[in-house]
Structure 1
Amino acid sequence: MHKKLIVFSEQKPVKVTIRNYTAEDFDAMIAIQQQSFPPPFPSELWWNKEQLHEHVTRFPEGALCAEADGKLIGSMTGLRVGDDQLGDTHSWSQITDDGYIRNHDPNGDSLYVVDICVVPEFRKAGIGKWLMLSMYEVVVHLRLKRLLGGGRMPGYHRYAHEATAEQYLNHVITGLWKDPVITFLLRCGRMPVGVVKNYLEDDESHNYAALMEWRNPFIKNGEEE
């Protein structure tokens, strides 16, 4: 993938390129994580070069980055999985192989989101949404049935005393409550599939995540229209 667009950062137009990242981008990819998740976030949870090597080797189509003025400002990574890998429930660690994606199935018909990240400076410029839309294009290009992934529910801790995770998600969907992650995913066209417990260690979400998908509009019941 390689496309150019213009976004507005602080009301100023900025030329941005969305493309596949390569081995030459590894240091910049790690720098994105450092800027986005500064201490006290554990540095061992940032991408490492071994993980990034697996991404660009096993599924380069699912390794996307956003670049402005020669600097990487965001990234999104995915892998292909089959229904047998998803099962009734799964954790982020299980479905992404702890971010190494060695379980990538070249024949899997779902593109599963491993990570999406944007540096703070550009978070209000729509980069995250453009990365998501670009990954939808990958789904269509590869003729997959859907994009799938678990979204954190960081607002849930404020309501956990009065609502189950499922009720919280429903209230966000109906507009009663807002959640910074789930609301963003809804604005990107993702639809809820269900709630997964023990998805990842996340105090704000009480370890829950909302499983959300975007279905390929050109495929119906597993067949191309």
Structure 2
Amino acid sequence: MYRKELYVFDRERPVKAIVRSYTREDFPGLIQIQQESFPPPFPSELWWNEAQLDNHVTLFPQGALCVEIDGRPVASSTALLIDWDPSDADHSWEQITDRGYIANHRPGGNTLYIVDICAAPAYRKLGLGKLLMQSMYEVVVALNLKRLLGGGRIPGYHLHAGEMSPESYAEAVLAGALKDPVMTFLLRCGRTPVKLVPGYLEDEESLNYAMLMEWRNPFREASNEY
């Protein structure tokens, strides 16, 4: 089980936070985070349900993390293990995560794949998303995996789709000419682009594209094997 205590900052005010594995007792709070983050008209059937959460803590508890502040979970992230094959990079979120149920989790996999990361709106200014991402890097190191991997939406793309391809948009973000809410955030977290994936998830803002981004384990011996 994972647990660490530290301080995050609300402007200049330190706020004590606990990053830990979430448990069944946290399920109502985790669902509440989704409700606060994705209110109607977002379809409620797309929020986490208890069957999905139960799979997370049963199949791979090391990849089920939350941030607790003032005695309640206010952010969470979920992952599973996969065997990553770069020659077969294209996939959808539903395929790679088993629609969030992670029944395809492979205990001997070489890659930690991020299923979801979410923070309650009132706590987003505290940098909890980056904190959770760094915690997942620690899981990669602890399990001696090759990398962390995941698809990031590019929600700023719809504003420029009439004038540039998604590839050109991603290049502009990397060059610093544009800023994307998700891709730029992941770059700040230490992730690097691998491949632009079409049809990753239904998302009008991203025109269904996502940038597959990784973090390589620096403690693994260098080799030609991807």
Same fold per TM (> 0.5)? yes
Given that residues 86 and 95 in structure 1 are in contact (C-alpha distance below 8 angstroms), is that contact kept between their aligned partners in structure 2?
no
- TM-superposed CA distance for 1:83, in Å, is 2.2
- TM-superposed CA distance for 1:10, in Å, is 4.3
Inter-partner Cα distance in structure 2 for 1:184 and 1:210: 12
The alignment's TM-score, normalised by the length of structure 2, stands at 0.96
Q: Which runs of 5+ in 2 are unaligned?
A: none
Task: Name the structure 1 match of 2:80.
Answer: 79
Given that residues 194 and 210 in structure 1 are in contact (C-alpha distance below 8 angstroms), is that contact kept between their aligned partners in structure 2?
yes
The alignment's TM-score, normalised by the length of structure 1, stands at 0.96
Q: Deviations over 1:60-119 (max 9, x none)?
A: 000000000001110000000002598231000000000000000001100000000001
Task: Name the structure 1 match of 2:25.
Answer: 24
Q: Which runs of 5+ in 1 are unaligned?
A: none
Task: Please report the RMSD computed on the Cα atoms of aligned residues, expressed in angstroms.
Answer: 1.4
1:157 to 2:158 alignment: yes
Task: Name the structure 1 match of 2:3.
Answer: 2
Give SS of 2:106's match: coil
Inter-partner Cα distance in structure 2 for 1:220 and 1:176: 35
Q: Give % identity.
A: 61
Give SS of 2:126's match: coil
Give SS of 2:6's match: strand
1:180 to 2:185 alignment: no
- TM-superposed CA distance for 1:38, in Å, is 0.9
Give SS of 2:125's match: coil
Task: Name the structure 1 match of 2:42.
Answer: 41
Inter-partner Cα distance in structure 1 for 2:4 and 2:170: 34
- TM-superposed CA distance for 1:37, in Å, is 0.9
- TM-superposed CA distance for 1:180, in Å, is 0.6
- TM-superposed CA distance for 1:162, in Å, is 1.3
* Residue range with higher mean Cα deviation, 37-46 or 86-95: 86-95
Give SS of 2:136's match: helix
Give, as a single letter, the amino acid of the residue that structure 1 aligns with 2:209. Answer: Y
Write out aligned runs for 1:92-131 (5 A): 92-131=93-132
Inter-partner Cα distance in structure 1 for 2:152 and 2:17: 25
Give SS of 1:139's match: helix
User: In the comparison of the two structures, how many residue pairs are matched?
Assistant: 223
